[in-house]
Structure 1
Amino acid sequence: MTINADPQELAKFGELAHRWWDPESDFKPLHQINPLRLGWIQQLCPLAGKRVVDVGCGGGILSDSMARAGASVLGIDLSTKPLRVAELHAMEAGTQGVEYREIAVEELAAEQPAGFDAVTCMEMLEHVPDPASVVRACATLVKPGGWVFLSTLNRNAKSFLLAIVGAEYVLRMLPKGTHEYARFLKPSELAQFCRDAGLGLQSSRGLGYNPLTQRYSLGADTDVNYLLACRRAP
């Protein structure tokens, strides 16, 4: 199987792995938005007792929080160092109900079709060569009636200015080179990937940032960061 990953992207996040759980590090935005995305997931799909796979889990920020919410979580990624950091954090924090594997989502989908109540894939689609393949694999992994949660960046002038120029070069919220504009996805494009994979769109939210208060919030504006919730037909 051809691995749907960019070696440069894997290396980039591998080099930053030791900073993953420092809330004031390069991953500060992930720590700040995690309560918002976890709350949104919980509203639509209460996690207690659910079996969940977190695709592109990195150092495990979302995986860990979903396990603490009562889910049985498998975090998967193809970058070795962040996975080791995730495992170490779970051990040190005493988090129960979470495990990690270095495996491609397409490979896991072939291994465990319809094996999960919910699938999350957050801030990952803009880093892979073939995002549609990831969406298809997520649809295969989820049980009939189950939920798939996705998030990524919109592709337009506003997102270029705010997510790349603003976040990486002006405010320095993210390391330079974190994102490649050409890989951003319009909501209509991602929604089409979902429909093609047999997923029905249920909800969408935008993720906004206020530089004055330095706070994130969920709302209706999907111009920059956005989240989609889909369900597989029963």
Structure 2
Amino acid sequence: MNASLNADPAELAKFSDLAHRWWDPESEFRPLHQINPLRLNWIQESIVLQGKDVVDIGCGGGILSDSMARRGANVLGVDLSTKALKVAQLHALEAQTPNIAYREVSAEELAQERPASFDVVTCMEMLEHVPDPASIVRACATLVKPSGWVFFSTLNRNAKSFLFAIVGAEYLLKLLPRGTHSYDKLLRPSELARFVRGAGLSMEHSRGLEYNPLTRRYWLSADTSVNYMLATRRPAEGSHVS
């Protein structure tokens, strides 16, 4: 692996080992299947995906990529996990998903290759798994067209998030495999907002994602203390981020 690549080999190996279970809705990826309709609809509140060019950074097995393509977008999913991408490609073939392609390429490399090429950039559940999240944010800002949208989701870093997302989700409820998240890699909204503004994007709105372990139901709310999503936008040509 390229030593300068913005990826953690242990993180890639962790998800590669589980890749064959990505599309099993009762597997370790059950939470992703459950939250996907929520985040898909949240994206569509800002921009109609039909006919748009979209890149999904850190697409994994393609759960979000596939659903955006089924909403009519032309989707490119990119990841650095070879196994996960093969699973994504196989699923697209089996499900006959239209207008979708996958590539093994870093966000930074793609940004150099295709600046200002996409109407929408999504980077969901990915920033907390890389050594340099600010670099990913900058790449996303480079990839999006002027006036285009960039959507992020990640985990907050605080005592409640540690209790709910790591102790609760990984050890008590076993919603996720142990070791899925490292507390020191989690990002406070203020930190992500600083990366966003530093990359020249404007903050538009945010949403929190909550979970009830008794009903096993997720919903969107204004509470960003654990899981949260940020909608950001690249200014139109000639305008500046305030």
TM over 0.5, shorter chain: yes
Q: Tell me what 1:223 maps to.
A: 225
Aligned residue number for residue 85 of structure 1: 87
Q: 1:175: how far off?
A: 0.3
Match of 1:204 in 2: 206
Aligned pairs for 1:1-234 within 5 A: 2-234=4-236
Instruction: Show CA shifts across 1:136-169 (max 9, x none).
Output: 0000000000000000000000000000000000
1:20-78 per-position Cα deviation (integer Å, ceiling 9, x unaligned): 00000000000000000000001101100000000000000000000000000000000
Name the CA distance, whole Å, in 1 between partners of 2:205 and 2:27.
Answer: 31
Q: What does the per-residue CA deviation read over 1:166-218, in whole Å, with 9 as the maximum and x for residues that have no partner?
A: 00000000000000000000000000100000000001000000111100000
For 1:46 and 1:209, how far apart are their aligned partners in 2?
27
Structure 1 residues not aligned, in runs of 5+: none
What residue ranges of structure 2 are gaps of 5+ in the alignment?
Answer: 237-242
Secondary structure of 2:223's match?
Answer: coil
Cα distance between partner residues in 2 of 1:81 and 1:162: 29
User: Counterpart of 1:70 in 2: which secondary structure?
Assistant: coil
Aligned identity (percent) is: 73
Displaced runs of 4 or more, over 4 A:
none
Q: Distance in 2 between matches of 1:151 and 1:131?
A: 12
Q: Secondary structure at the match of 2:26?
A: coil
Measured in 2, the distance between the counterparts of 1:216 and 1:190 equals 23
RMSD: 0.6
